């Protein structure tokens, strides 16, 4: 195992071991700087037996090789301990019965839960619940988060123009002929006009002066 990043980070490990011990934790392994290494910011891999999840070593991120072990009564208690945190970045469940382990994993409130393994993939997003963050790294979420969406609505007159522009003329295309402008135009117009008449549209009723829908040759009162 290598060093932690800096002297400050090593001090943090030491401070947390001390704090944990003050609140009832027992050091089962490590807990100090390794002997015989004068240069470099090393800290022995440390295992703390923690009396409960309220211990500082269970609640705060140490970012070093300090690991706390907490006993649980039953699975509900284990889930309660796991979720009793302001953080929710990741988590792991180990168990011989994969189905049971997955059932526990689904109850963990975090951005990822690994069952009997760990995963790091371009397709699997990662990120935090609670105070572990906003947004996601990797996966479709990260790509989507690099973009913003803009809705563009086109009014019907523009739509007509687009439709006319793109109107295919299968008959002419099949013959491999370019449509002559004079003959092509009426064909397209007729289609567009027919569609326009068929589509529901609103007119002002001459008698009542109210807006009414015209659809399929019949008039319907407007709901407003």
User: Considering only residues 159-218, where is the footprint of other proteins by CB under 8 A?
Assistant: 159-160, 162, 199-202, 213, 215
Contact track, other proteins, 97-136, x by CB under 8 A: x--xx--x---x-x-x---x-x-xxxx--xxx--xxxxxx
Number of residues that bind other proteins (CB under 8 A): 108
Instruction: Look up tokens 């019965």; give the residue.
Output: 97
First to last CA, the chain: 73
Among 40, 171, 186, 221, binds other proteins (CB under 8 A): 40
Beta carbons within 8 Å of 211's beta carbon, 6+ residues apart? 202, 203, 204, 205, 222
Give the span between the Cα atoms of 198 and 214, in whole angstroms.
9
Residue 158 binds other proteins (CB under 8 A): yes
Our CB check for other proteins shows the closer of 81 and 188 to be 81
Burial class (CB in 10 A: 0-12, 13-18, 19+), 93: buried
Question: Could you say whether residue 96 binds other proteins (CB under 8 A)?
Answer: yes
Shorter beta-carbon distance to other proteins: residue 134 or 210: 134
Cα–Cα distance for residue pair 108/129, rounded to 1 Å: 10
Judged by CB under 8 A, the chain residues 20 through 39 that form the site for other proteins are: 28-30, 34, 37, 39
Q: Which of residues 54-73 bind other proteins (CB under 8 A)?
A: 57-73
């Amino acid at each position: 195992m290598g060093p932690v990043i800096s002297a400050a980070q090593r001090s943090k490990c030491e401070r947390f071991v001390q704090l944990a011990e003050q609140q009832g934790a027992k050091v089962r392994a490590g807990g100090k700087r390794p002997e015989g290494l004068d240069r470099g910011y090393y800290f022995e891999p440390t295992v703390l037996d923690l009396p409960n999840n309220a211990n500082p070593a269970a609640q705060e991120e140490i970012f070093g090789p300090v690991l706390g072990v907490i006993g649980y009564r039953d699975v509900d208690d284990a889930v309660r301990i796991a979720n009793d945190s302001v953080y929710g970045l990741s988590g792991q469940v180990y168990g011989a019965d994969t189905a049971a382990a997955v059932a526990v994993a689904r109850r963990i409130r975090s951005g990822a839960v690994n069952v009997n393994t760990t995963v790091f993939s371009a397709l699997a997003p990662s990120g935090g619940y609670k105070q572990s963050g906003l947004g996601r790294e990797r996966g479709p979420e990260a790509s989507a988060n690099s973009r913003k969406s803009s809705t563009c609505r086109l009014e019907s007159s523009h739509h007509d123009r687009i439709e006319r522009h793109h109107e295919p003329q299968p008959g002419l295309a099949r013959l491999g002929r370019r449509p002559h402008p004079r003959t092509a135009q009426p064909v397209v117009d007729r289609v567009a006009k027919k569609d326009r008449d068929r589509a529901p549209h609103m007119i002002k009723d001459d008698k009542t002066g109210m807006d009414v829908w015209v659809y399929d040759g019949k008039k319907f009162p407007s709901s407003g």
